[in-house]
Chain A
Amino acid sequence: MAGASKAVTDSRANLPFVYRQYSAEQLREVLYKMYLIRRFEEGAEECYTRGLIHGTMHLSIGQEASAMGICMPLAEDDQITSTHRGHGHCIAKGAEVKRMFAEFFGKTSGYCKGRGGSMHIADVGKGNLGANGIVGGGIPIAVGAALSSKMMKTGKVVVSFFGDGANNEGAFHEALNMAAIWKLPVIFVCENNGYGMSTSTARSTAVKNIAERAAAYSMPGVIVNGNIFSEVAEASHQAVARARAGEGPTLIESKTYRHRGHSKSDRNRYRTKEEIEDWMSNRDPITLFESELREFGFIDDKGIEAIRDAVAQEIADGIEFAKASPSPDVRDTGNYVYTEQA
C-alpha cells in the first residue's frame, strides 16, 4: 500500500504505542484486516440468511480491535487457541478468507475440509489450533501448547482467547494455575463483551473485573479497552515479551462488545436497544482506529477508500471460490477419524 509516509516523523514520540512501534504500512494493513474481519462476517451472515450456509454462527462484529491487537506482536509460528466466536482471531492470525468461506460452505477446500464449519474453524499452518465449541475448552489446550514450547525449546508463545463466560468454567482456573506454577509462555486473553449468551458478567461473575482473578494465580492481570487497537496491542506486546523472557503467563482482560446477537437464535431480550446503539455509534473499534490513523496522518480518505474496495473484492472473490469448490464425497465420511496409515 502506498501514501501517507509524511507521518513517519519524530512527531510520533507523543502518539499512542502502536504509532511509535509500527510502520505506516503495517498500520494500514491492520485497518485492512479489521475491515476484512468485519466484511467477512457480514458476508457470512448474508450467506447464512440466504440459506447458503447452514448450522449457526457467532459473529465478533464489534470486537475486531481485540483480535488484531492481541495478534499484532505474535510471530507466524506463535500459536493461538480460539473460541466459538473465532472468525476474527482466525483472520488476525493470518488465515485466508476464501478458505474460511469454503469451510462455512462445507467444501473440501475449507480449512477443515467441510467437517468443522464456523465453530471449529482453524488454520494450523498459521498457528491457529482451532476455534472451540466448548466454552473454556481451549484454555488448558493452550497451556499444553505452551508446555510443548517450553519442553521443546521452540520459543513459541501461545495465546488463549476466551470469553467472559468461560472464566466461570473450572478449566479456566485449573489452566491458569498450572501455567503459573510452571511459568509457561502463555497469554490468557479474556474478551469480555459483557455477556455470556444472555447472562451479564454482573450476574455470572463474582469479581467486577475478570483481570482480578489473575491475583489468585500470581500473574499480572491487565485491563484494556478492547475497542482501542493501540491499547490492546500494547498490552499484548508486554505480555509477549514477558512470556518470551520465560517469566510466565499474563491475563489480559479486553473489554469489548458484540454488536450482533449471541448466535443466530438470539432475541436480544437481555440488553437494550440503546445499549447496542451506543456501542455501535460511539465505540466502534474500526471507526475509532480509522479516525486515529487519519488524525495522525497515516491515511487519508483516498487510502481508506482503497482499503474498503480491496476488502470488498477479496470478500467477493472468497465467496465465489467457496461456491465453486467441490463438496466432500459422502463415501469419505469416515476419513480423518484416525490417522491414515499406509
Chain B
Amino acid sequence: MDAMVRELSYAQAIQEAMAIAMDMDERVFLMGEDIGVYGGAFQVTGDLVERFGTERVIDTPISELGGAGVAVGAALTGMRPIFEFQFSDFATLAMEQIVNQAAKMRFMLGGEVSVPVVMRFPAGSGTGAAAQHSQSLEAWLGHVPGLKVIQPATPYDAKGMLLAAVADPDPVMIFEHKLLYKMKGPVPEGYYTVPIGKADIRREGRDLTIVATSIMVQKALDAAAVLESEGIDVEIVDLRTIRPMDKQTVIDSVKKTSRLMCVYEAVKTLGIGAEVSAMIAESEAFDYLDAPIVRLGGAETPIPYNPELEKATVPQIPDIITAARDLVKGVR
C-alpha cells in the first residue's frame, strides 16, 4: 500500500524528516542557534523541542565555528548530529571545521573514521535581508572533496534527501532556499529516501535543456509553461546534488535537445554553471550542441537591500524566457 500523501510545506517536510530520523535512531539529534523554544529562525525545527526535549534539540550559543566543530566531533564518535546554521552566510564563520576537518578527516586517517554529520543552510535572496544574509554559497562547499552538497527544490525531495543525508556515512551539506520554505507540495507519510547524487528530469522536452538548481527549478518550470505556448519545448533537469554531480543525466539530456542553459541564483562566474558547461564541453554531448551554452546566474555584486535592485541581481522568470527564446532561435 502506498503511504498517505499530503500537501506539506518545504519547511514542514524537513521538520517531519528530522522527527522521523530522531524516532528511528536515538543517535540523531539537532543542534543550532535558537532551534528550541524559538523554533529556528525560519520555524523549521518548530515545536520539535517539545517532543524530543532540550537534550536532543540543543540551542547552541552564537558560536558557529565551535558549534560546527562540536557536531563534527560528535559525528566522528558515533552520534548523528543535524546542525542548523541560522543563515547559510554564517558558514563562513565555520569554514575551518567544515572544510579542513569534516571534509578531510576520513581521508587523512586512511578510512579509519567517518563523519556522518548533516549541516543545513537556509540560503538565498529575496527577503530584503541584504548582503550578509542572502548569499548562495553552495558552490564554495561544492568545491571541497569529502563533502556532499545537495539542494532539494521540492518538499518531497527536501524530506527524502534529508533522510538520505542522515543515513549517509559522510558529511552532507543541505542548502535550502529560504523562499522555498513556504512552498507546498505532495509529501508521503513515513520513511523514504531520495538518493544523493541523482538529478531529476522535472519536465521532458525536445528543444532545450535547462539545468537548474533549488528555487530556479520552479522558475524554470514557470518559464517553460510560457515557452510551450510559443512552441518551444524545454527539458528541465533539477540537479538536486551539486557534489557528486549526476553528469550522465545532464549529458543524456543535452544529447537529446542539443542546447544547454544553466540557471542558478549564485553569482554567475566560477560557479555551478561553469562546472556544468565545462562538463558538457568535455563530454560526448559536446558534438551534439547546436548553439553556444548559456549561463543565467546572479549578478557580479553582493545582494543589495533595495527590493528592486535585489530582484535585478538574480534571474527572474522573464529573464529565463528571454534567454531560452534567444537560444532556441539562434539570437546571440
- A is bound by B: yes
Interface residues of A, Cβ cutoff 8 Å to B: 54-56, 106, 112, 114-117, 119-120, 132-137, 165-166, 168-170, 196-199, 203-205, 265-267, 269-270, 327-328, 330, 333-334, 337
Instruction: Determine if B312 and A55 form an interchain contact, defined as CB atoms under 8 angstroms apart.
Output: no
Which residues of chain B come closer than 8 Å to A165, judged between CB atoms?
Answer: 61-62
Write the nearest CB–CB distance from A295 to chain B, whole angstroms. Answer: 40
Which residues of chain B come closer than 8 Å to A269, judged between CB atoms?
Answer: 37-39
Which residues of chain A come closer than 8 Å to B302, judged between CB atoms?
Answer: 337
- Judge whether B5 is part of the interface by a CB distance below 8 angstroms: no
User: A198 touches which one: B36, B66, B301, B306 (CB < 8 A)?
Assistant: B36
Which residues of chain A come closer than 8 Å to B37, judged between CB atoms?
Answer: 198, 269-270
Q: List B residues 33-89 near A (Cβ within 8 Å).
A: 33-34, 36-39, 41, 59, 61-66, 89
- The count of chain B contact residues (Cβ–Cβ below 8 Å) is 36
Per the bound structure, the CA–CA distance linking A198 and B39 in Å amounts to 10
- Judge whether B127 is part of the interface by a CB distance below 8 angstroms: yes
6 inter-chain pairs at a CB distance below 8 angstroms, sorted by A residue, are: A115-B309, A196-B33, A197-B33, A327-B308, A333-B304, A337-B300
Contacts A117-B130, A334-B299 given; does A135 touch B308 at CB 8 Å:
no
Contacts A197-B38, A333-B304 given; does A170 touch B65 at CB 8 Å:
yes
Per the bound structure, the CA–CA distance linking A334 and B64 in Å amounts to 31
User: B129 touches which one: A56, A115, A132, A205 (CB < 8 A)?
Assistant: A56
Instruction: Determine if A203 and B59 form an interchain contact, defined as CB atoms under 8 angstroms apart.
Output: yes
Which residues of chain B come closer than 8 Å to A56, judged between CB atoms?
Answer: 127-129
Contacts A54-B307, A333-B312, A337-B300 given; does A134 touch B33 at CB 8 Å:
no
Contacts A134-B132, A197-B34 given; does A168 touch B61 at CB 8 Å:
yes
- Judge whether B202 is part of the interface by a CB distance below 8 angstroms: no
Write the nearest CB–CB distance from A29 to chain B, whole angstroms. Answer: 31
Interface centre among B59, B128, B133, B306 (most CB of A within 10 A): B306
Interface centre among A54, A196, A327, A333 (most CB of B within 10 A): A333
- Judge whether B313 is part of the interface by a CB distance below 8 angstroms: yes
User: A134 touches which one: B93, B127, B305 (CB < 8 A)?
Assistant: B93
Contacts A135-B62, A204-B61, A204-B62 given; does A333 touch B301 at CB 8 Å:
yes
Interface residues of B, Cβ cutoff 8 Å to A: 33-34, 36-39, 41, 59, 61-66, 89-90, 93, 127-133, 299-302, 304-309, 312-313
Known: A136-B62, A169-B62; 10 extra A-B contacts, CB below 8 A, are: A55-B305, A114-B309, A115-B130, A116-B131, A116-B305, A120-B132, A133-B131, A198-B34, A330-B308, A337-B302
User: A114 touches which one: B65, B89, B129, B305 (CB < 8 A)?
Assistant: B305
Interface centre among B36, B61, B127 (most CB of A within 10 A): B61
Per the bound structure, the CA–CA distance linking A69 and B8 in Å amounts to 50
Which residues of chain A come closer than 8 Å to B59, judged between CB atoms?
Answer: 198-199, 203-204
Instruction: Determine if A134 and B304 form an interchain contact, defined as CB atoms under 8 angstroms apart.
Output: no
Instruction: Determine if B129 and A168 form an interchain contact, defined as CB atoms under 8 angstroms apart.
Output: no
Instruction: Determine if A54 and B309 form an interchain contact, defined as CB atoms under 8 angstroms apart.
Output: no
Question: Which A-chain residue is minimally distant from B64 (CB atoms)?
Answer: A169
Which residues of chain B come closer than 8 Å to A112, judged between CB atoms?
Answer: 305
Which residues of chain A come closer than 8 Å to B309, judged between CB atoms?
Answer: 106, 114-115, 328, 330, 333
Write the nearest CB–CB distance from A221 to chain B, whole angstroms. Answer: 19
Per the bound structure, the CA–CA distance linking A199 and B57 in Å amounts to 13
Question: Which A-chain residue is minimally distant from B132 (CB atoms)?
Answer: A133
Which residues of chain B come closer than 8 Å to A116, judged between CB atoms?
Answer: 130-131, 305
Instruction: Determine if A166 and B62 form an interchain contact, defined as CB atoms under 8 angstroms apart.
Output: yes
Write the nearest CB–CB distance from A253 to chain B, whole angstroms. Answer: 16
User: A120 touches which one: B299, B305, B307 (CB < 8 A)?
Assistant: B305
Per the bound structure, the CA–CA distance linking A246 and B43 in Å amounts to 48
User: A170 touches which one: B34, B66, B301 (CB < 8 A)?
Assistant: B66
Per the bound structure, the CA–CA distance linking A305 and B39 in Å amounts to 43
Contacts A133-B133, A265-B41, A327-B306 given; does A199 touch B61 at CB 8 Å:
yes
Instruction: Determine if A55 and B33 form an interchain contact, defined as CB atoms under 8 angstroms apart.
Output: no
Instruction: Determine if A169 and B93 form an interchain contact, defined as CB atoms under 8 angstroms apart.
Output: yes
Instruction: Determine if A117 and B128 form an interchain contact, defined as CB atoms under 8 angstroms apart.
Output: yes
Question: Which B-chain residue is minimally distant from A331 (CB atoms)?
Answer: B312
Which residues of chain A come closer than 8 Å to B133, judged between CB atoms?
Answer: 119, 133
Per the bound structure, the CA–CA distance linking A38 and B129 in Å amounts to 23
Write the nearest CB–CB distance from A233 to chain B, whole angstroms. Answer: 28
User: B131 touches which one: A120, A135, A330 (CB < 8 A)?
Assistant: A120
Write the nearest CB–CB distance from B307 to chain A, whole angstroms. Answer: 5
Instruction: Determine if B305 and A117 form an interchain contact, defined as CB atoms under 8 angstroms apart.
Output: yes
Which residues of chain B come closer than 8 Å to A120, judged between CB atoms?
Answer: 130-132, 305
Instruction: Determine if B300 and A334 form an interchain contact, defined as CB atoms under 8 angstroms apart.
Output: yes
User: B299 touches which one: A265, A267, A333 (CB < 8 A)?
Assistant: A333
Question: Which B-chain residue is minimally distant from A334 (CB atoms)?
Answer: B301
Per the bound structure, the CA–CA distance linking A168 and B129 in Å amounts to 23
Question: Which A-chain residue is minimally distant from B42 (CB atoms)?
Answer: A265
User: A106 touches which one: B62, B90, B129, B306 (CB < 8 A)?
Assistant: B306
Per the bound structure, the CA–CA distance linking A144 and B98 in Å amounts to 27
Write the nearest CB–CB distance from B268 to chain A, whole angstroms. Answer: 12
Which residues of chain A come closer than 8 Å to B300, judged between CB atoms?
Answer: 334, 337
Per the bound structure, the CA–CA distance linking A168 and B66 in Å amounts to 9
Which 3 residue pairs of A and B lie closest in terms of their CB atoms, listed nearest first? A55-B128, A117-B305, A133-B132
